[in-house]
């Protein structure tokens, strides 16, 4: 049987709706870890369907490292101005700026392992936000400066 605490915890960890969390837990037979994997798969499926949609809105985000020797400018696009102004979208842009500042450009950005969770690539992170926000998200361009 699914309990409300499992649903709450899954929602906190994934950011998807309560109804989707309940549905995933039911599909997983109450197995929390399996439910997280189901949600991750749903997110990838959703991202695949959304990636053909135009991204004509977005933001320019920036980050300057405290030592003042590394800086990043990032253009991150989405479908609507409403999403561009959202807390989640702003949070993603900040995480991407931190990633760019920390990792440099040894690998293409989307293939890099996320510095905060080595089990995910940056592409995985963006797909999670696409599933959470419900719009296509594209890293249009970025520049990393270093002295």
The domain that contains 26 carries what CATH number?
Answer: 1.10.8.10
Same domain, residue pair 40 and 83 = no
Higher pLDDT, residue 12 or 140 = 140
Residues 45 and 69 in one domain: no
Res. 14: pLDDT tops 90:
no
Among the candidates 15, 34, 50, a domain finishes at: 50
The pLDDT-based confidence of 132 (bands split at 50, 70, 90) is confident
Q: According to the model, what pLDDT value does residue 145 have?
A: 96
Residues 73 and 25 in one domain: no
CA distances (Å), origin 104, targets 3, 44, 140, 143: 44, 26, 17, 10
Domain match, 34 and 68 both: no
pLDDT of residue 47: 59
Write out pLDDT tens, residues 39-94. 777 766 665 666 667 889 999 999 999 999 999 999 999 999 999 999 999 999 99
| Residue 11 predicted with pLDDT over 90 | no
Read off the pLDDT of residues 17-40 as tens digits, 9 standing for 90 and up. Answer: 788 888 888 888 888 888 888 877
10-14, 94-98, 107-111, 114-118: range with lowest mean pLDDT: 10-14
Q: Which pair of tokens denotes residue 145?
A: 């400066």
Do 134 and 65 fall within a single domain?
Answer: yes
68 and 36 both lie in a single domain: no
CATH number of the domain at 97, please. Answer: 3.30.479.20
pTM tops 0.85, yes or no: no
For every residue of 109-140, which 3-state class applies, written as one string? HHHCEECCEEEEEHHHHHHHHHHHHCCCCEEE
Residue 22 has a pLDDT of 86
> Are 98 and 65 in a shared domain?
yes
What are 100-105's contacts with CB under 8 Å, separation 24+? 100/63, 100/72, 100/74, 100/142, 100/144, 101/63, 101/65, 101/70, 101/71, 101/72, 101/144, 104/144, 104/146, 105/144
Residue 93: which domain range?
Answer: 57-146
The alpha carbon dihedral of 97, 102, 107, 111 has a sign of negative
Q: Do 74 and 116 lie in a common domain?
A: yes
State whether 35 and 67 are in the same domain: no
For residues 74 and 113, membership in a common domain is answered with yes
| pLDDT of residue 105 exceeding 90 | no
């Amino acid at each position: 049987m699914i309990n409300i605490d499992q649903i709450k915890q899954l929602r906190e960890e994934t950011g998807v709706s309560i109804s989707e969390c309940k549905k995933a837990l039911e599909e997983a037979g109450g197995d929390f870890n399996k439910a997280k994997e189901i949600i991750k798969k749903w997110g990838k499926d959703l991202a695949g369907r959304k990636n053909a949609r135009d991204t004509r809105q977005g933001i320019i985000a920036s980050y300057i490292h405290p030592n003042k020797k590394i800086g990043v400018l990032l253009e991150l696009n989405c479908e609507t101005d409403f999403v561009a102004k959202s807390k989640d979208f702003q949070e993603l842009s900040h995480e991407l700026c931190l990633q760019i500042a920390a990792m440099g450009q040894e690998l293409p950005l989307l293939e890099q392992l996320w510095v905060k969770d080595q089990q995910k690539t940056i592409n995985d992170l963006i797909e999670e936000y696409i599933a959470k926000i419900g719009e296509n998200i594209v890293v249009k361009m970025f520049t990393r400066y270093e002295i």
